[in-house]
């Protein structure tokens, strides 16, 4: 099966490429921007994919506040451009659209873990763009000749992640402290909230299974179903690294709007695919530290 992968150079895309043979979104001149519809259509027609995993996105919440229009152009209109290019090419396979659990937005603690029937109340431009693109994909799944499966993916961690994301940035700082390149102080934003973390390698397994077994037109939470305090992960990273450090709040890392608690219900994903996380939290954290040792050496 010829699998087209958008966002193939990203954090998740690099892991997926290691698991499955994929064709990147590119033409004879290199990678193709989703915001260039004519070039995109030519590339898709040339590739003639049998299946698609759509990962490409502007995924930083702070960046989405800094430039909402760019976020919407890539995440929503880029998705529309991809759908139109697939239709024009005669695509008749299956597309996996990777959305975000951040689309749930404000969820009352008594409603956790949140399931797919819960209303979407996105609270930042990134989440709005992903929710809008998800609704677009749902509409196309009902009106066009190819199948679309959609995800709401919660926080994922693992080696190779950008330091723009909290757990990876904590590991980077800890390794720098251990190497003597930084004073023993961790700069952090709000770490008193909770998140539902899953190792990126488990996330990729879920995507492959959903591409194969997910029901067309359906939306799936991709998450562990376990609510973990961010502070607890930071303290465990310090413990695993054998590092002692003070933790200081950095106002520049705080978001204007923050969901204090987040946890998803993965029951639908497990029921339809048999998926369950296989990588322990300690393994994930140790691998992230080892990755930063390599990157900073």
Distance between CA atoms of 80 and 83, rounded to whole angstroms? 5
Is the pLDDT score of 144 beyond 70?
A: yes
Structural domains of the chain, count: 2
pLDDT tens figures, 85-121: 999 999 999 999 999 999 999 899 999 999 999 999 9
**pLDDT band for position 11 (cuts 50, 70, 90):** very high
Q: Which domain holds residue 149?
A: 3-157+197-226+265-273
Within this chain, do residues 134 and 171 fall inside the same structural domain, yes or no? no
Q: What is the mean pLDDT of residues 229-235?
A: 98
Within this chain, do residues 146 and 87 fall inside the same structural domain, yes or no? yes
Distance between CA atoms of 229 and 194, rounded to whole angstroms? 4
Q: What is the mean pLDDT of residues 222-245?
A: 98
Q: How far apart are the first and last CA of the chain?
A: 39
Q: In the chain, what is the greatest distance between 2 CA atoms, to the nearest angstrom?
A: 59
Q: What is the mean pLDDT of residues 141-145?
A: 94
Within this chain, do residues 98 and 64 fall inside the same structural domain, yes or no? yes
Q: In CATH, what number is assigned to the domain containing residue 283? A: 3.90.25.10
Distance between CA atoms of 174 and 239, rounded to whole angstroms? 10
Q: What is the mean pLDDT of residues 224-231?
A: 97
Q: Which region among 28-32, 54-58, 219-223, 225-229 has the lowest average model confidence (pLDDT)?
A: 28-32
In whole numbers, what is the pLDDT of the chain averaged over residues?
96
Q: What is the mean pLDDT of residues 31-54?
A: 97
Tokens for 139? 């509409």
Within this chain, do residues 242 and 256 fall inside the same structural domain, yes or no? yes
Within this chain, do residues 53 and 184 fall inside the same structural domain, yes or no? no
**What per-residue confidence (pLDDT) applies to 200?**
98
User: Are 153 and 103 a contacting pair, CB within 8 Å?
Assistant: no
Give SS3 for 58.
Answer: coil
Tokens for 231? 């502070």
Q: In CATH, what number is assigned to the domain containing residue 105? A: 3.40.50.720
User: Are 230 and 166 a contacting pair, CB within 8 Å?
Assistant: yes
**What per-residue confidence (pLDDT) applies to 239?**
98
**What per-residue confidence (pLDDT) applies to 18?**
94
Instruction: Read off the pTM.
Output: 0.96
Integer Rg of the chain from CA: 19
10 Å CB burial of residue 176 (0-12, 13-18, 19+) is middle
Is the pLDDT score of 256 beyond 70?
A: no
**What per-residue confidence (pLDDT) applies to 179?**
97
**What per-residue confidence (pLDDT) applies to 33?**
96
Within this chain, do residues 94 and 208 fall inside the same structural domain, yes or no? yes
Within this chain, do residues 127 and 86 fall inside the same structural domain, yes or no? yes
Report the candidate in 242, 228, 75, 105 with the shortest Cα–Cα distance to residue 166.
Answer: 228
For 92-172, where are the E strands, in sequence order? 94-100, 147-153, 156-157
Q: Which residue has the higher pLDDT, 61 or 96?
A: 96
For the chain, where are the E strands, in sequence order? 3-6, 23-24, 26-27, 30-31, 51-54, 94-100, 147-153, 156-157, 185-188, 194-195, 198-199, 219-222, 228-229, 246-249
User: Are 293 and 174 a contacting pair, CB within 8 Å?
Assistant: no
Within this chain, do residues 180 and 112 fall inside the same structural domain, yes or no? no
**What per-residue confidence (pLDDT) applies to 259?**
80
Within this chain, do residues 10 and 76 fall inside the same structural domain, yes or no? yes
Within this chain, do residues 98 and 177 fall inside the same structural domain, yes or no? no
**pLDDT band for position 251 (cuts 50, 70, 90):** confident
Is the pLDDT score of 258 beyond 90?
A: no
The residue count of the chain comes to: 297
Within this chain, do residues 130 and 236 fall inside the same structural domain, yes or no? no
Within this chain, do residues 177 and 95 fall inside the same structural domain, yes or no? no
């Amino acid at each position: 099966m010829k699998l087209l992968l958008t966002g193939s150079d990203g954090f998740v895309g690099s892991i997926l490429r290691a698991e499955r043979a994929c064709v990147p979104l590119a033409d004879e001149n290199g990678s193709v921007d989703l915001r260039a519809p004519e070039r995109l259509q030519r590339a898709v027609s040339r590739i003639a994919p049998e299946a698609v995993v759509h990962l490409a996105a502007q995924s930083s919440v702070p960046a989405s506040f800094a430039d909402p229009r760019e976020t919407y152009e890539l995440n929503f209109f880029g998705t529309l451009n991809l759908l139109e290019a697939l239709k024009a090419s005669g695509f008749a396979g299956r597309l996996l659209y990777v959305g975000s659990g951040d689309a749930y937005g404000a969820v009352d603690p008594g409603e956790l873990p949140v399931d797919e029937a819960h209303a979407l109340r996105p609270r930042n431009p990134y989440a709005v763009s992903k929710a809008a693109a998800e609704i677009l994909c749902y509409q196309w799944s009902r009106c066009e000749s190819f199948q679309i499966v959609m995800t709401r993916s919660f926080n994922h961690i693992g080696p190779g992640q950008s330091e723009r994301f909290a757990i990876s940035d904590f590991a980077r700082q800890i390794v720098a402290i251990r190497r003597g390149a930084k004073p023993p102080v961790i700069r952090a934003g709000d770490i008193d909230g909770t998140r539902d973390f899953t190792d990126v390698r488990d996330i990729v397994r879920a995507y492959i299974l959903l591409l194969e077994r997910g029901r067309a037109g359906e939306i799936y939470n991709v998450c562990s179903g376990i609510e973990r305090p961010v502070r607890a992960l930071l303290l465990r990273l310090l413990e695993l690294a054998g590092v002692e450090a003070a933790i200081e709040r950095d106002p520049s890392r705080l978001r204007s709007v923050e969901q204090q608690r987040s946890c998803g219900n993965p029951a639908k994903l497990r029921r339809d695919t048999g998926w369950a996380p296989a990588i322990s939290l300690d393994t994930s954290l140790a691998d992230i530290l080892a990755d930063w040792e390599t990157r900073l050496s």
